């Protein structure tokens, strides 16, 4: 029988340590498939942020470095500028990219660095155990906002894709999710486009993936999907915010 589907060679077979219902595993699979299909996995380096994404460091087969918390885009800037032949992507959660790394994220985008950023937004700190993130929804409970996010105290969720869309330099900004097969395919297409932009030296691409965190949302994976679709998508609407890839 002909094999029509197999695990991407860019995942080395080590166990993924992500919680049930977490979408990190799906996104790493998609990244790996794209790298393999584009035949660029041997020239690609991942710069991981700090947080749950670190669980992938022993799982992927391509080159990888861990950046200090929030600094992935600065590390990627240095690597890409010093070695332009390497395909460089950052993989960062919301705490990493939007809180502690806000300056590095925005300035790399503003310089139009020829890198790809994959931003996982689940509205909560995962690895450290459910603290409030810059993207936590109003009213959503977190261990450091036990009464729920209160705008009077905590302000409002940051919309990173929209913020980066204010800048002139970025070429491609899309917000996607992995809540159903159609959206998984859209996410894969967005990731492919973001890497193609880099190969073609077009500049900075951001793919924001709105995901769930069943463990820290205190919901089972099924109910997490419901929360994601009903609440997260309302705050963070999916879609293409900018696509200048055809204009050159």
Partner 1 sequence: MSKKLFLKGGEAIAEAAVRAGCRFYAGYPITPQNEIPEYMARRQPQVGGVFVQGESEIASVNMVYGAGASGTRSMTSSSSVGISLKSEGISYCASARVPMVYVNMQRGGPGVGTIQASQQDYFQATKASGNGGFRMIVLAPSTVQEAVDMTYQAFDLADRDRNPVLILGDGVIGTIMEPVVLPEMKSDEEVAALKAKHHGWAIVGHSREEKRGFLTPGFWSTDSLEAHCLELEKLYSSWEENDVQVEELYLEDAEVVLVAYGTSARIAKSTMEIMRDEGCRIGMIRPKTVSPFPARSFDRINYDTCRCVLDVEMSIPAQMLYDVRLGVKDRAPVECCLRSGGNLIEREDVVKEIKKILEGGGR
Residues that bind partner 1 (CB under 8 A): 9, 41-45, 47, 50, 54, 57-58, 61-68, 71, 74-83, 85-87, 103-104, 107
> How far is residue 245's CA from residue 201's CA, in Å, rounded to a whole number?
10
- For residue 63 the two structure tokens come to 């080159």
Residue 218 near residue 184 (C-beta atoms within 8 A): no
Q: Which residues contact 155 (CB under 8 A, 6 or more apart)?
A: none
Pick 67 or 140: Cβ nearer partner 1: 67
Residue 60 DSSP code: B
- For residue 119 the two structure tokens come to 């931003």
How far is CA 79 from each of CA 28, 45, 52, 146, 199, rounded to the nearest angstrom?
21, 9, 23, 40, 15
Q: What is the CA radius of gyration of the chain?
A: 17
Within 13 A of 85's CA, how many CA atoms are on the CB side? Answer: 2
For 241, the 3-state DSSP assignment is strand
Pick 44 or 216: Cβ nearer partner 1: 44
CA dihedral 136→170→28→226, nearest 10 degrees, is: 40
- For residue 70 the two structure tokens come to 């929030």
């Amino acid at each position: 029988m002909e094999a029509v589907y197999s695990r991407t060679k860019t995942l080395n077979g080590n166990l993924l340590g992500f919680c049930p219902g977490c979408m990190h595993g799906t996104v790493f699979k998609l990244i790996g498939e794209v790298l393999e299909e584009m035949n660029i996995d041997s020239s690609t380096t991942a710069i991981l942020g700090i947080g749950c994404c670190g669980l992938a460091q022993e799982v992927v087969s391509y080159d990888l470095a861990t950046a200090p918390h929030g600094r992935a885009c600065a590390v990627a800037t240095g690597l890409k500028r010093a070695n332009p032949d390497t395909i460089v992507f950052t993989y960062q959660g919301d705490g990493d990219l939007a809180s502690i790394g806000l300056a590095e994220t925005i300035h790399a985008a503003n310089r139009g660095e020829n890198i790809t950023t994959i931003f996982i937004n689940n509205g909560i700190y995962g690895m450290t155990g459910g603290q409030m993130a810059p993207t936590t929804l109003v009213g959503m409970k977190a261990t450091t906002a036990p009464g729920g996010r209160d705008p009077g105290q905590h302000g409002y969720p940051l919309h990173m894709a929209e913020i980066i869309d204010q800048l002139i330099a970025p070429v491609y900004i899309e917000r996607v999710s992995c809540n159903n097969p159609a959206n998984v395919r859209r996410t894969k297409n967005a990731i492919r486009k973001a890497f193609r932009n880099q190969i073609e030296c077009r500049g900075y691409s951001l793919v924001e993936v709105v995901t769930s965190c069943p463990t820290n949302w205190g919901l089972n994976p099924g109910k997490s999907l419901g929360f994601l679709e009903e609440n997260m998508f309302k705050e963070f609407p999916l879609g293409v915010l900018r696509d200048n890839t055809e204009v050159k």
